[in-house]
């Protein structure tokens, strides 16, 4: 029986703020009450702000992010539709797998695990698609398995460059509300997020933010996949009045109200800046320990999760087990082909500098215990130096602003 804080540094579920936990600890209520929409309608509105989606709408499903992936596909595509995808980690892999299983005709580009969406290859495929048969291009914004962030805006640019009408699907489960995301500006048609990451809620609710174009696609005459649970149409009929086609998890709505309030109080730009600062400290810490990232170049560095290569001869799974059992710390494991080679530090959501230092201190001990040659304190020191410097810079810029 461990004592004290269970240190949670997985890339989701993330640490739910006390304020959100309090907000969710409510009695059940009547989801058909006359004043229920006064809770839900502002949530729909504010979620659109969080996605930077002015003209479309956001759906909330009682499901994991996987459910929202399926919702996106079922409502806008049909069996046999051509789509363009890429695979460079376990989550982009699973998305491809879903597409195939749901009957899409997917062109899947395999990329080194450690890089992201291959803009060049995508451009070639788009350029070659003269007849505009590709109905959708899929982008895993943040590949949680490798700690890699892709360039969504770049995909938009190349579609525009070729005047290609394909929709853009984005998996933003581990990016949205933590990393800059601009649905309208980037012309994203379907963006998937989950409650348990940047939205700082428990798992159990997914968000699907949909553009006008995607909504139109869901309504046009082409047949789509069979669906009921995830149907846009059923949702829209009810959501427009603040209600739901089936019993929604009302306690989540109270938590979401508070989570959105917290995001807006901090300011989304500041949320992103904080995630960047915390992440960069962790990366400095990893470098300070003499270790390498799974991300193959700085352009791919994720500000929500860092996948760390353990030294040759060390078993990353041993590091995880030691961290968990001796040091009350949960890190993310290496998934699929990365098992045993990588462990991951999730650094998103309700987090601060000293929590990141705790993660690094714990990782140093677990690595050393597992046989890695790590100078104790080296990672912590590198991160501390960076965090102090950023505070000094922040103080300076605040002073300059006065």
- Exactly one of 50, 307, 365, 370 binds a second copy (CB under 8 A); that residue is 365
Q: Does 336 bind a second copy (CB under 8 A)?
A: no
Q: Does 330 bind a second copy (CB under 8 A)?
A: yes
**Segment contacting a second copy by CB under 8 A, of 40-48, 132-140, 178-186, 239-247:** 239-247
- Exactly one of 348, 364, 370, 372 binds a second copy (CB under 8 A); that residue is 364
Between 154 and 377, CB nearer to a second copy: 377
Residues 68-107 contacting a second copy, CB under 8 A: 69-70, 79, 97-98, 101-103
In this structure, how many other beta carbons lie within 10 angstroms of the beta carbon of residue 385?
14
CA–CA distance, 21 with 12 (Å, rounded to integer): 16
Least Cβ distance, residue 118 to a second copy (angstroms)? 25
Between 122 and 387, CB nearer to a second copy: 387
Whose CA is closest to 164, among 187, 197, 143, 192? Answer: 187
Q: Any binding-site annotation on 156?
A: no
- Exactly one of 128, 228, 336, 393 binds a second copy (CB under 8 A); that residue is 228
- Exactly one of 187, 248, 281, 334 binds a second copy (CB under 8 A); that residue is 248
Q: Does 371 bind a second copy (CB under 8 A)?
A: no
Between 301 and 321, CB nearer to a second copy: 321
Between 30 and 131, CB nearer to a second copy: 30
- Say how many residues touch a second copy, by CB under 8 A: 103
- Exactly one of 75, 251, 294, 306 binds a second copy (CB under 8 A); that residue is 251
Q: Respond yes or no on whether the N-terminal peptide bond of residue 13 is cis (omega within 30° of 0).
A: yes
Q: Does 375 bind a second copy (CB under 8 A)?
A: yes
Least Cβ distance, residue 248 to a second copy (angstroms)? 6
Residues 145-164 contacting a second copy, CB under 8 A: none
Residues 269-328 contacting a second copy, CB under 8 A: 274, 321, 324-328
Residues 10-29 contacting a second copy, CB under 8 A: 10, 12-18, 21-23, 25-29
Whose CA is closest to 104, among 122, 83, 134? Answer: 83
Between 70 and 123, CB nearer to a second copy: 70
- Exactly one of 45, 337, 373, 391 binds a second copy (CB under 8 A); that residue is 391
- Exactly one of 171, 180, 189, 353 binds a second copy (CB under 8 A); that residue is 353
Between 147 and 194, CB nearer to a second copy: 194
Residues 159-198 contacting a second copy, CB under 8 A: 194, 196
Q: Does 39 bind a second copy (CB under 8 A)?
A: no
Q: Does 247 bind a second copy (CB under 8 A)?
A: yes
């Amino acid at each position: 029986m461990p004592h004290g804080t269970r240190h949670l540094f997985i890339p989701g579920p993330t640490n739910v703020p006390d304020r959100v936990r309090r907000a969710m600890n409510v009695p059940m209520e009547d989801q058909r009450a006359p004043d229920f929409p006064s809770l839900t309608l502002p949530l729909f509105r504010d979620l659109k702000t969080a996605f930077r989606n002015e003209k479309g709408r956001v759906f909330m499903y009682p499901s994991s992010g996987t459910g929202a992936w399926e919702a996106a596909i079922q409502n806008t595509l049909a069996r046999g539709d051509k789509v363009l995808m890429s695979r460079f980690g376990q989550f982009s892999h699973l998305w491809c797998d879903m597409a195939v299983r749901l009957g899409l005709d997917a062109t899947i580009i395999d990329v080194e695990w450690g890089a992201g969406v291959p803009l060049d290859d995508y451009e070639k495929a788009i350029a070659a698609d003269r007849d505009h048969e590709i109905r959708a291009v899929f982008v895993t914004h943040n590949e949680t398995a490798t700690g890699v962030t892709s360039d969504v805006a770049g995909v938009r640019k190349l579609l525009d460059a070729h005047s290609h009408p394909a929709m853009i699907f984005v998996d933003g489960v581990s990016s949205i509300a933590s990393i800059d995301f601009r649905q309208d500006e980037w012309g994203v048609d379907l963006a998937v997020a989950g409650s348990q990451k940047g939205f700082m809620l428990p798992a159990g609710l997914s968000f699907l933010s949909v553009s006008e174009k995607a909504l139109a696609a869901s309504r046009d005459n082409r047949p789509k996949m069979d669906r009921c649970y995830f149907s846009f149409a059923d949702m829209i009929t009810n959501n427009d009045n603040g209600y739901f086609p089936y019993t929604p998890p009302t306690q989540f709505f109270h938590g979401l109200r508070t989570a959105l309030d917290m995001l807006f109080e901090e300011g989304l730009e500041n949320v992103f800046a904080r995630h960047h600062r915390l992440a960069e400290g962790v990366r400095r810490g990893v470098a300070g320990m003499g270790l390498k990232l799974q991300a193959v170049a700085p352009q791919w560095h994720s500000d929500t999760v860092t996948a760390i290569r353990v030294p040759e001869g060390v078993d990353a799974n041993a590091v995880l087990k030691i961290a968990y059992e001796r040091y009350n710390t949960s890190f993310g494991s290496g998934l699929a082909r990365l098992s045993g080679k990588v462990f991951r530090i999730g650094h998103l959501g309700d987090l601060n500098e000293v929590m990141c230092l705790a993660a690094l201190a714990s990782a140093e001990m677990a690595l050393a215990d597992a046989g890695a040659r790590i100078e104790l304190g080296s990672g912590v020191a590198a991160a501390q130096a960076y965090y102090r410097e950023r505070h000094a810079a922040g103080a300076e810029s605040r002073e300059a602003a006065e």
